[in-house]
Chains A and B, each alone.
Chain A
Amino acid sequence: MAVGKTSEPIPAGGSAGPVSIWFLLHVSTCIGALGRLARQPFASLMTVLVIAVTLALPASMHLVIKNAQSIGNNWENALDFSVYLQNNVALNDANRLASLIEQRADVAHVTVISAQEALEEFKSASGFGSALDHLQNNPLPHTLIVRPSGANTEQSMILLHEELGNLPESDLVQIDTVWVQRFHAILDILRRAIAIGAGLLGVAIVVIIGNTIRLDIQNRREEIEVTKLIGASNAFVRRPFLYSGFWYGLGGGLLALGLVGYGLYALEQPVRRLAGLYNSTFSVLDLNLSESFIIIGIGVLLGLAGSWLAAARHMRRIEPG
């Protein structure tokens, strides 16, 4: 039907002005559109489901990236610095320096590995044991292993790195960030790939809704002709179809949230078990409120866009005569 039902009286407080009449017309058209979808529950549900799955795909990929990033950030802050001291620094000086560094707020603790210890470890770990016996003096420097405190941010880590490097005793400061950077670079690529995929899926939603509305318009061609014949404008006949698109989009968005939520629920136990095996308290990050609203909003916008395109294209052609 092109117009909302009117047989149920809508209570209008006092004398209804043009704005409230306009508002009531929209409300009744909106509810009428929902009622029409409800009269074909299976077909409507299928459309909503397709939209929901199409929205849930990029949304869940976004969650995967978001969680991966948060794990990555944890790793980054747990990295140790290896401060290789100059060869002429004595072990006593190294120990003194270690206790000085340990007093910093951004440092959790400092371990000193003497050149002798380092050589022993190297002998046993490298397999060059006997070959190294022939060395006349130990080529290795004393080393400080600096563990940053957990409160560090990316910025303060960079600062700490710089300051350790600027110490007169230090020769080289190493932090194994390369693989973390690679990890983030991979995440960036994935994020972009998901954005591209999400764009394509968005186009798919517009097409799906547009096609559904187009069929709806064709089925109600006669009714559109009659209403136009008795003076309905294009905007008037288009309105219920726009509301149909709105409901499809809204339903799809809500159901997408449901699908993502169910996916998280299904993953929660195994993730907790894995985290437990790593002695981690990691728990899966859910969509936050604004992300949820964004997903619903995108669904609604795409629904309106699809129905608008279909209505603009097909409605104009239906003229009485």
Chain B
Amino acid sequence: MIRIEDVTKRFPGGQEGLKGLSLSIEKGEMVFITGHSGAGKSTLLRLIALIERPTSGQVIVDGQNTRRVPRRKIPAYRREMGMVFQDHKLLYDRSVFDNVALPLIISGIGHRDAARRVRAAIDQVGLLTKEKQRPETLSAGELQRVGIARAIVSRPKLLIADEPTGNLDPDLSLEVMRIFRRFNEVGVTLLIASHDLALIDQLGCRRVPLENGALQIDEERDEVADYFEGDEVPPGNELWP
């Protein structure tokens, strides 16, 4: 599903987000990208979402080399995948229903069809009773579930998520992960950047640890646990847009 071949990403300031990273993710896998803040998790996801382009190397998503996607084709390319963000990026001037419907409206799906699919997506994250509410009336966990519903409403084959549980407490985090797990069971490929190792261990999925923009050779739990005393985050690298 995703092939990363010797990818380097250098930022204008000179920092390297990724250094010669190679990685392959098969269809139907659920993979966690782990590592310190600044290890290159977000950069990797941004390259896959074509928010950034690699300085060198190839990023191939579902058989499509992102190098060959011209600027004007980027919207169509992004519509093929679902994206979940740490800060969920909902639009606060409209209801849960309208937020989840947005990708379908962008894709020009007919209204009846869209309404049915939006309800199905909201139902899958267990928020059917709140479809008319505005985001500001929802809790952090509910907001993230709306974000997930919006990501899966157009039934993408690939879902990428950047720290989807970053703002959630352990119970809510587990719930969100269970939702992801259910999508994975019906064949969706998931690529999730997270530093929540305890949670990932409970799920027993494949882990890709990154360190300084490359694969971490020695996967030591202690090292990763140091995260909370971590270094300063390089600018322009830590944030998913």
Contact = CB atoms under 8 A, between A and B. Distances in A.
Contacts of B241: 225, 229, 320-321
B195 interface: no
A230 B78 contact: yes
A227 interface: yes
Given A6-B114, A320-B241, A236 B91 contact: no
B109 A227 contact: no
A236 B102 CA distance: 11
Interface stretch (B93-101, B138-146, B199-207): B93-101
Given A321-B46, A321-B52, A9 B106 contact: no
Contacts of B98: 3, 5-7
B182 interface: no
A98 B215 CA distance: 115
Interface string B77-120: 11100010000011101110110011101111111101100000
A143 B133 CA distance: 94
Contact of B102 (A24, A25, A230): A230
A22 B108 contact: yes
A39 B168 CA distance: 35
B122 to A, nearest CB: 12
A288 interface: no
Nearest to B151: A230
A39 B107 CA distance: 27
Contact of A227 (B49, B106, B132): B106
A88 interface: no
A131 interface: no
Interface string A15-32: 010100110110000000
B150 interface: yes
A40 interface: no
A321 B162 CA distance: 14
B105 to A, nearest CB: 5
A9 B75 CA distance: 26
A232 interface: yes
A223 interface: yes
B23 interface: no
B231 to A, nearest CB: 23
B69 interface: no
Contacts of B111: 6, 9-10, 12, 16, 21, 24
A6 B105 contact: yes
A231 B94 contact: no
Contacts of A2: 91
B233 interface: no
Contacts of B93: 1, 223
Contact of A230 (B110, B114, B150): B150
Nearest to A1: B93
B51 A320 contact: yes
Contact of A236 (B77, B101, B106, B110): B106
A3 B114 CA distance: 14
- Name the residue among B75, B101, B109 with the largest chain A CB count within 10 angstroms: B75
A231 B76 contact: yes
Given A7-B98, A320-B51, A321-B46, A231 B91 contact: no
A88 to B, nearest CB: 90
B92 to A, nearest CB: 9
A312 interface: no
Contact of B132 (A7, A12, A16): A7
Given A229-B89, A231-B75, A320-B51, A7 B95 contact: yes
A21 B106 contact: no
A1 B91 contact: yes
- Name the residue among B78, B103, B110 with the largest chain A CB count within 10 angstroms: B110
Interface in A56-87: none
Contacts of B52: 321
Contacts of A319: 51
- Name the residue among B52, B89, B103, B111 with the largest chain A CB count within 10 angstroms: B111
Contact of A21 (B49, B101, B103, B110): B110
Nearest to A20: B110
Nearest to A29: B105
Given A6-B101, A231-B79, A231-B106, 15 more contacts: A2-B91, A5-B94, A5-B98, A6-B97, A7-B97, A16-B111, A18-B108, A223-B91, A228-B75, A229-B78, A230-B83, A230-B102, A231-B75, A232-B75, A319-B51
Interface of B: 46, 49, 51-52, 72, 75-79, 83, 89-91, 93-95, 97-98, 101-103, 105-112, 114-115, 132, 150, 241
Interface of A: 1-7, 9-10, 12, 16, 18, 21-22, 24-25, 223, 225-234, 236, 319-321
Closest 8 CB pairs of A and B: A231-B79, A231-B78, A233-B75, A320-B241, A16-B110, A321-B51, A321-B241, A232-B106
9 contacts: A3-B106, A6-B97, A6-B111, A9-B111, A16-B111, A18-B108, A21-B111, A230-B79, A232-B75
